[in-house]
Amino acid sequence: KNQVEQSPQSLIILEGKNCTLQCNYTVSPFSNLRWYKQDTGRGPVSLTIMTFSENTKSNGRYTATLDADTKQSSLHITASQLSDSASYICVVTMNTGFQKLVFGTGTRLLVSP
């Protein structure tokens, strides 16, 4: 079954600290993997997109890694800010005709002052 699992479900960290969010997937065939940030009451916003051949991609303080062999990805947030409080969603695209997207349920991050 094509699934995307994220851990932890929720996380609280102090402002200025780093954190890492995990994503494991069983989606096949694989096309790309994306991380989205979703603020409360807003739509998801893309942070990174990685294809099979890419194993790391950065967007400011956000760095995503991909291990296509173990089907794992992580999102590392450096020097967290209060504005990083949001849900982070891992999404895997299937390399099929329509290229279906399989969404994880997200990790809810709270950055505390």
Closest CA to 73 of 35, 23, 32: 23
Rounded Cα distance between 81 and 76, Å, is 13
3-state secondary structure (DSSP) of residue 12? strand
Least CB distance to other proteins at residue 28 (A): 15
Rounded Cα distance between 78 and 49, Å, is 18
* Residue 17 or 42 with smaller CB distance to other proteins: 42
* Residue 60 or 113 with smaller CB distance to other proteins: 60
Which residues are near other proteins by CB under 8 A? 4, 31-32, 34, 41-46, 49, 89, 93, 98-106
* Residue 3 or 55 with smaller CB distance to other proteins: 3
